[in-house]
Structure 1
């Protein structure tokens, strides 16, 4: 957790048009950033468990205690995609494995949106891995504790990807799901979650066998499964409901390729 990582920065495009800022806001909402950083970006404590640890998202505004004023767009991109802070130290419980494939354009729109939001004065919440959290990390059960350790920091980043109802784009969208549903998307216990949290569902083709594309999309948008049951916390359906029809259809198409 104290290892220093060297990550080369790449130029991140800046955006100022309202349409681009709005897209950055949608990315923030649909990718679940608010689950750890709160709806206004000021950060919040999202896990407070004596065994797992106390974990809080950073204040992503320009207010006192925030990170925007002290970081360039390129440094913020490294934090988002590589899980590495300014001085090369790993960010604890930053799920960068979900965002490592994000294009330069999408990262740029996300950061431009954050820079457009009101400053909130709020100090960094506590980030303190607990004894069980550290043990589970050591045996490989909670890799997200130090996502920087399992990310290829020398990979090339896509400049952009054209939204389309395709397997390729669906795979791009599905990366958002790996933090809870696993890299194989077949579900199981959510890494780092308190024991009372339910396991993530299998969202491979087999796990979604009783869904159609239409009711899959409806479930994501409403939080209700075809049988009328409600999806339980921490499934972030309200965030994922911000995904576009193209994103959801592409996601469905990609999930159908996973057995």
Structure 2
């Protein structure tokens, strides 16, 4: 956890038009950034467990205690996609494996939104991995504890990808789901979750046999499955409900190939 990483930054496009900032806000909401950084970007403690540890998202505003004023767009992009902070050290429990493939354009719009938000004065919450959290990381059960260790830092990022109802775009969107559902998307115990949380469900073709495209989209939008049961926490359907129809249709196409 004290290892340093060398990551070559790449130029991030700047956006200032209201439409681009609005899209950045939608990306923030739909990709679950608020789960750790709160709805206003000021950060929150999202795990507080003596065994797993105390883990808090950073204050991403320009207020006192925030990091925004002290980071360039390129440094923020490295944090988002590589899980590496300004000092070269890994960001603990930053799920950059979900975002490592995000395009330069989407990262730029996301950052433009963060820079448009009001400053919030709020100190950084504690980040203290506990003994069980450290042990589970060492045996490979919580790789997100140091996501920087499993990311290819030499990868070439796409400049942009055109939204379309396609397999390629569906795979792009699906990366958001890997943090809970696993890289195979076939379900697994959720990383760092308390023992009372159920494992994530299989969202491959086999796990979605009771769904059609329309019922899959309806479930994400409403939090209710085709049989009438409700999706329970920690499934972030309220965030995922911000995905566009194009994103959800493309996601469905991709999941059907697994």
TM range (shorter): over 0.9
The equivalent of 1:256 in structure 2 is: 256
Moved over 4 A (4+): none
RMSD of Structure 2 on Structure 1 (CA): 0.4
- Write the distance in 2 (CA, Å) between the matches of 1:207 and 1:134: 31
Question: Could you give the per-residue CA deviations for residues 59-93 of structure 1, whole angstroms, max 9, x where no partner exists?
Answer: 00000000101100000000000000001000000
3-state DSSP of counterpart to 1:69: helix
1:147-162 pair list within 5 angstroms: 147-162=147-162
Deviation at residue 189 of structure 1 after TM alignment: 0.6
Give the deviation of 1:193 after TM superposition. Answer: 0.8
Alignment partner of 1:177: what SS? Answer: helix
1:183-218 CA deviation, whole Å, 9 max, x = no partner?
000002101111111110000000001100000000
**Distance in 1, Cα, partners of 2:38 & 2:76:** 17
Shift of 1:127: 0.4
User: Counterparts of 1:1-259 in structure 2 under 5 Å?
Assistant: 1-258=1-258
Residues 164-198 of structure 1, C-alpha deviations (whole Å, 9 max, x = no match)? 00000000000000000000000021011111111
In the alignment, the residues of structure 1 paired with residue 248 and residue 90 of structure 2 have an alpha-carbon distance, to the nearest angstrom, of: 32
Q: Secondary structure at the match of 1:93?
A: coil
What is the TM-score when the length of structure 1 is the normalising length?
0.99
Which TM-score applies when normalising by structure 2? 1.00
1-side partners of 2:132 and 2:87: how far apart? 27
What secondary structure, in the 3-state scheme, does the structure 1 residue paired with 2:207 have?
coil
Corresponding pairs, count: 258
Alpha-carbon distance in 2 for matches of 1:36, 1:50: 18
Q: Which ranges in structure 1 are unaligned for 5 or more consecutive residues? A: none
Unaligned ranges ≥5, structure 2: none
